[in-house]
Amino acid sequence: MSKIPLPNFSKGEVAPALYGRIDTGQYNAALKTARNFLVQKYGGVTFRPGTRLVGAADGDVRLVPFQFSIDQSYVLAMGQGQMRPVALGGFVLEADLKIEDASQSDPCVLTISNHGYAPGDRLYLAGIEGMVELNGRFVTVVAVPTGNSVAIDVNSGSFTPFAASTGAVHAEAPEPQPVDPVVPPVVLPPPDPYVGGGGGYDYDWHSPYMVQF
């Protein structure tokens, strides 16, 4: 019995309804299962690349793909009352602000002129000289002592002294952040209806009551 190779997989996975349709063009250009493969437009398949951790999520989130254009695609990490876009292997960040000083304390206090941050904001630290232990970290603002400083959830008491950092300095205070919308509470689904033994009912048209039998 001879076997005919099928080198064209441009149709991707064939639907179960087409398993027996050997007369169609899709059947001869598709796969029954293409698990962990990416179908290429010119017919072949390639191994699906692996994944890597790009940052911690804030609570329970659902990852939703979003295609803005033919060359801009994102992953939206959507949670209860929040959304963070991810692209090019990391979270989408705001403009890089210059850190002018960092204290050796618990918590660490960063001096950032006219930062505009609020408690709960997430920051990514990079481009720091001297206190290099802060580089490559996602941190959370735990307090805002002044408009030019923030306290973060890092104990820097044993870190090396701060020297300098990259980034730009805000010449004036930014616009105040908008008020957060009211997040509705999570509504749990109702319990499943009771499924049990049945009983018959008959209706007496001469009486306003149901008669059980």
User: Are both 105 and 82 inside the same structural domain?
Assistant: no
Residue finishing a domain among 150, 165, 180: 165
Distance between CA 213 and CA 210 in Å, rounded? 10
User: Are both 105 and 85 inside the same structural domain?
Assistant: no
Residues contacting 179, CB < 8 A, separation 6+? none
Question: What does the pLDDT read at residue 213?
Answer: 46
User: Are both 86 and 112 inside the same structural domain?
Assistant: no
User: Are both 87 and 105 inside the same structural domain?
Assistant: no
Q: Say whether 27 sits in a helix, a strand or coil.
A: helix
User: Are both 5 and 37 inside the same structural domain?
Assistant: yes
Distance between CA 131 and CA 89 in Å, rounded? 25
Question: What does the pLDDT read at residue 123?
Answer: 87
Question: What does the pLDDT read at residue 196?
Answer: 66
User: Are both 105 and 161 inside the same structural domain?
Assistant: yes
Kindly state the tokens that stand for 3. 């076997």
User: Are both 85 and 139 inside the same structural domain?
Assistant: no
Question: What does the pLDDT read at residue 152?
Answer: 93
Instruction: Tell me, yes or no, whether 206 lies in a domain.
Output: no
Instruction: Tell me, yes or no, whether 207 lies in a domain.
Output: no
DSSP state of 163: -
Residue finishing a domain among 127, 143, 165: 165
Instruction: Tell me, yes or no, whether 5 lies in a domain.
Output: yes
User: Are both 106 and 161 inside the same structural domain?
Assistant: yes
Tokens 């002592």 found at? 145
Instruction: Tell me, yes or no, whether 112 lies in a domain.
Output: yes
In the chain, the number of structural domains is 3
pLDDT block averages, 10 residues each, the chain of length 213: 72 79 77 81 79 78 88 87 82 83 92 87 88 90 91 93 86 71 82 68 51 47
Kindly state the tokens that stand for 117. 């941050």
User: Are both 108 and 157 inside the same structural domain?
Assistant: yes
Q: Which domain holds residue 130?
A: 101-165
Instruction: Tell me, yes or no, whether 133 lies in a domain.
Output: yes
Instruction: Tell me, yes or no, whether 172 lies in a domain.
Output: no
